[in-house]
Amino acid sequence: MTALDTSPARPLAWDPVAKALHWSMAALIPLAWVLAIVIDAFPRESRGPVVYAHKTAGMLILALLVVRVLWRMTHTAPDTEKTPWEPLAGFLVKAGHGLLYLLMIVVPLGGIATSFARGKPVPVFGLFDLVGPWVDRQPFAGMVTEMHETAAHLLLIVAFAHAVIGILHHVVLKDRTLIRMKPFAKA
Ligand code: HEM
Ligand code: HEM
């Protein structure tokens, strides 16, 4: 968008749908991560339900992401709050959000690839199973698992940094960045 753009005025805050999608995913992503981390704490024969819960949380994240991207493409986002470090800060915010979107796509798709590489199906909310094209073969399965795990850790690290920056906006810069994303808050 350019300075000459006269198309619809930017809203002052994120709309309720964008907020609901943001906060439900902000809860589900760490949940999916924790479920994956605790899998190894269970004896092999009782890991099934935890793996199922992990895959289902991951598939829900993917489904919500599709809705979120479609919503984002069809609605105007509020303008980013200006900081004393423009234009660099504005560019970094866009790059950071872009990276988060990219990782939110790559990680669940990598999870599906991990299941397929292990010769395991992906349950889709108990409705049906997606069956992959591969049989379980090492070292391929191990390599795909490792890539999924690394991308998942990176997503959590970037999301954590993003949350800290959001809080710093509120506490140090005292701007409206966090308030605009606050559930149930008025614009
Ligand atoms: C944002 C979503 C996701 C996150 C944050 C995530 C995170 C992780 C992490 C950190 C691990 C490594 C656990 C470890 O061994 O230490 C893992 C493993 C795994 N993930 Fe995901 N994952 C996500 C989505 C998915 C999806 C959508 C699927 C498949 C439908 C999936 C399937 C798997 C499988 C099969 C493993 C190997 C589990 C095992 O060791 O038995 N993940 N995931
Ligand atoms: C897994 C966790 C999270 C992910 C993946 C995530 C992802 C994102 C993304 C992609 C955006 C950009 C929205 C867009 O341009 O469409 C965003 C915005 C935002 N997020 Fe998060 N977020 C997470 C957690 C948090 C947390 C914990 C906070 C609070 C401290 C937070 C505060 C915000 C704020 C204030 C905005 C609006 C930024 C602005 O208006 O410029 N996020 N988030």
Instruction: Report which protein residue has its CA nearest ligand 2's atom 17.
Output: 97
The string of pLDDT tens digits covering residues 120-159 is: 999 999 999 999 999 999 999 999 999 999 999 999 999 9
In the block, residue with structure tokens 């760490």 = 30
Please tell me if the CB atom of residue 148 comes closer than 6 angstroms to any atom of ligand 1. yes
Question: Which ligand approaches the C-alpha of residue 171 most closely?
Answer: 2
Quick one: pLDDT at residue 8?
A: 59
Task: Tell me the average pLDDT across 36-56.
Answer: 96
The string of pLDDT tens digits covering residues 76-112 is: 999 888 899 999 999 999 999 999 999 999 999 999 9
Residue 110 has a CB neighbour count (10 Å cut-off) of 22
Quick one: pLDDT at residue 187?
A: 60
Ordered DSSP codes for 69-127: HHHHHHSPPPPPPP-TTTTHHHHHHHHHHHHHHHHHHHHHHHHHHHHHHTT--EEETTT
Please tell me if the CB atom of residue 26 comes closer than 6 angstroms to any atom of ligand 1. no
Quick one: pLDDT at residue 80?
A: 87
Q: Which atom of ligand 1 is nearest to the CA of 112?
A: 29
Quick one: pLDDT at residue 2?
A: 46
Where do the domains of the chain lie? 16-181
The string of pLDDT tens digits covering residues 54-81 is: 999 999 999 999 999 999 999 999 988 8
Alpha-carbon gap, residue 89 to 99, rounded angstroms? 15
Task: Tell me the average pLDDT across 27-36.
Answer: 98
Look at the domain 16-181 and name its fold: Fumarate Reductase Cytochrome B subunit (1.20.950)
Q: Distance from the CA of 103 to the center of ligand 2, in angstroms?
A: 13
